Structure 1
């Protein structure tokens, strides 16, 4: 911790305490507003039954809950990192990379005060590490799927479909025709 002077350390510690306060406020406000995210979806929505709801309503509720859980998981992890950084300050170990043992530059700590790594030793986040379990049993699409889309463009589109159907007339009766005194269904068009 010798590379940080007392003013720098005080600034970083203040930033960490403010961030911790914000994160804890998020969790306390969420508990008051939404209750427990571990309760059932039916209980959390206040519905007696989900049978009378449109499937899209339940889909929206499910999406919102999944998003809330993902945000909570990320913020919870961030809170753990902030607490670990504050603990390192108390022990006099703050600002040192956990991998190589070198000092973490003050500018990096200003940007990310709870980081335990220098830039060179920051672990790579591999997106494929957190893939959904369903992908393990999914089969890839057949080769060439979707390749011919552009080749068939313009051959038969929605406008062509309307023109094809239009030749059969409309469902309007002669009484509904725009022209007066129409006797035949096809005359009113």
Structure 2
């Protein structure tokens, strides 16, 4: 299936979504992979993971890039050859990439009951007071996405979701909020944008 959705987050930050309906063979035949990517693909035991990996390359091709334009540093952070910032996420039937002139991180999560069950482990559950069960699930998924997206930007060993990343109070209708990373005696602030995409939550964090 072609490109599913485009979200213009800021003037210089855009997210692209691929709905994965193809099998591994179809996707593999449609992309060109460098040797290191081929090696990574062959090492993946799950076909879902392989499809997500290949769908990211389909998105790159849609935007005029190829797998050869994408590299990863020692920490596993992706980089583009033209020095634009890129962040990548995939979940179940969707892959997403975000490209920006700014530093940013993204996360895409399918709405699932497990996220709400483990919410006390990663967030302040006062955020879930006085709202419906459906809203609690959406809000917990947004918070998880906030923490994942900020972690992708910083990617430092020792960062704890409940102990170091804090989101301000927000309403789901806001579609934006603020968050902080308090780590190594520093406080860093982030602007958060979040969206519903089918039965998924998409979050983008941009350093403030």
Structure with greater Cα Rg = 1
Q: Normalized against structure 2, the TM-score is what?
A: 0.23
Structure richer in helix, relative to its length: 1
Q: Normalized against structure 1, the TM-score is what?
A: 0.25
Structure richer in strand, relative to its length: 2
